[in-house]
Structure 1
Amino acid sequence: WAAIHRASEATARIFGAMTELIALPKAFASCRLDGRIVAIAYGVIHKRFLVVEAVATDPGYRQQGHAARTIAKLIDWAQKQRAVAGCLQVVSDNEPARALYRSLGFNRELYRYHHLRKDIAK
């Protein structure tokens, strides 16, 4: 995830620490080409729902089905864990991601929300 997002070392550590704290059943999935991770995601199961998070594809490998295969691996894992449905979050104007998720059957919008920000630095 950190390499695909070209995240800083500090951000990578924070992401790792956050995912380690998840106490629910979780799985990480990836798609590799020539030993290199080109797509990644993780899933968490809560009350028989698969929650797909942190889907990322290396920009040079987008639109080639790697994210779809990665998410399919998570869905397969979740079915084995007896999950009955799945959900995820997507930025509303990210049409390539929305098309990907629709192709995988994520076609019902549950709700919209907004992130609000306030600068508090002095």
Structure 2
Amino acid sequence: MRMNPVIARSFDPYLLPRVEDAGLNASAPPQQRWLDGWLVRFSPGKAKRARCINAVAPGRMSVAHKLALCEPVFEQAGLPLLVRITPFSEPAGLDASLEGMGFARIDDTRVMVLEEVSNIVAPVLPPGITVQPVGLEAFAQRVGALRGSPLSQRVAHGQRLSQSPVPFQAYEMRLDGDVVACGQFALEADLVGLYDIFTAESARGLGHASRLCTHLLAEAHRRGARHGYLQVEGDNLPARTIYHRLGFADAYAYHYRARNPAAA
């Protein structure tokens, strides 16, 4: 029987559960409810973390019974039912149980951790490049436009950011006045999470993402951050290379289970 995803390397035993909790807090949408130990989220936005089941505690019901109760929630929201599987998912063996029920595995994702943000030094920006803060709803529109996301997803993203239980700070990087990259961070106690790091297609390969991430981390450290984290798709090798260079290391993996992968 397959186990749930495992932690990739040794870290402080208290740090990674805190990182997982911080990621859940930072991605919390208004549309969520608890069901027997499962955090059920059904936001219409792009981020799967905000429109899936997070199996946080084992609960008392069977997996099949809980899925049956979750299905109408996603149907009414017009969303496919997704289950996020992490090393912390409950009950143990959930991943194998879902596989046995015909749920396909999709979207291998890595959580990367930077153990000491204090090692990051604020970058010296080349001539013509500026980094400036931007409002959260404006940021959701900006990054959504760069991604080509539909308006409904941009609105849901802005709503989630503006109502987040942890504060976000969003930034744009401009070259001679044109936006070439954007990103934001969520700060919870001494943890900083990087989110929505995105470079315009025409400006990739020029070091903008690395400079922006360094700027965000240095600013978060100034505000009290000690440890950094982020989530990145496992096959996004260009982004993972940038994060490795900044000092991030793979901490653990997660993926999703879906009955209909094409609809996810």
TM-score higher than 0.5 here?
A: yes
Q: 1:89 aligns with which of 219, 226, 231?
A: 231
Q: Is contact 1:40–1:57 with CA below 8 Å preserved after alignment?
A: yes
Name the counterpart of 2:191: 49
Report the CA distance between 1:35 and its aligned residue.
1.8
Which whole-Å CA distance do the structure 1 matches of 2:220 and 2:192 have between them? 6
Which whole-Å CA distance do the structure 2 matches of 1:57 and 1:115 have between them? 26
Q: State how 1:14-93 maps to structure 2 within 5 Å.
A: 14-93=156-235
Q: Is contact 2:183–2:197 with CA below 8 Å preserved after alignment?
A: yes
Q: Percent identity among equivalent residues?
A: 29
Q: Match of 2:155, SS?
A: helix
25-34 vs 41-50, greater mean Cα deviation = 25-34
Which whole-Å CA distance do the structure 1 matches of 2:154 and 2:176 have between them? 23
Name the counterpart of 2:257: 116
- Name stretches of at least 5 consecutive residues in structure 1 with no aligned partner: none
Q: Match of 2:255, SS?
A: coil
Which whole-Å CA distance do the structure 2 matches of 1:47 and 1:109 have between them? 22
Name the counterpart of 2:242: 100
Q: Match of 1:22, SS?
A: coil
Q: Deviation above 6 Å: which 4+ runs of structure 1?
A: none
Q: Which AA in structure 2 matches 1:78?
A: A
Q: Which has the larger radius of gyration?
A: 2
Which whole-Å CA distance do the structure 2 matches of 1:6 and 1:70 have between them? 21
Report the CA distance between 1:34 and its aligned residue.
2.6
Q: Residue deviations 1:67-109, cap 9 Å, x none?
A: 1121112112211111101010111111101001111111x21
1:2 aligns with 2:144: yes
Which whole-Å CA distance do the structure 1 matches of 2:167 and 2:155 have between them? 21
Q: Match of 2:153, SS?
A: helix
User: TM-score if structure 2 supplies the norm length?
Assistant: 0.43
- Name stretches of at least 5 consecutive residues in structure 2 with no aligned partner: 1-142
Number of equivalences: 119
Which whole-Å CA distance do the structure 2 matches of 1:30 and 1:105 have between them? 23
Which whole-Å CA distance do the structure 2 matches of 1:117 and 1:81 have between them? 39
Which whole-Å CA distance do the structure 2 matches of 1:33 and 1:92 have between them? 30
Greater RCO, 1 or 2 (C-alpha within 8 Å, sep 6+): 2
Q: Which AA in structure 2 matches 1:72?
A: T
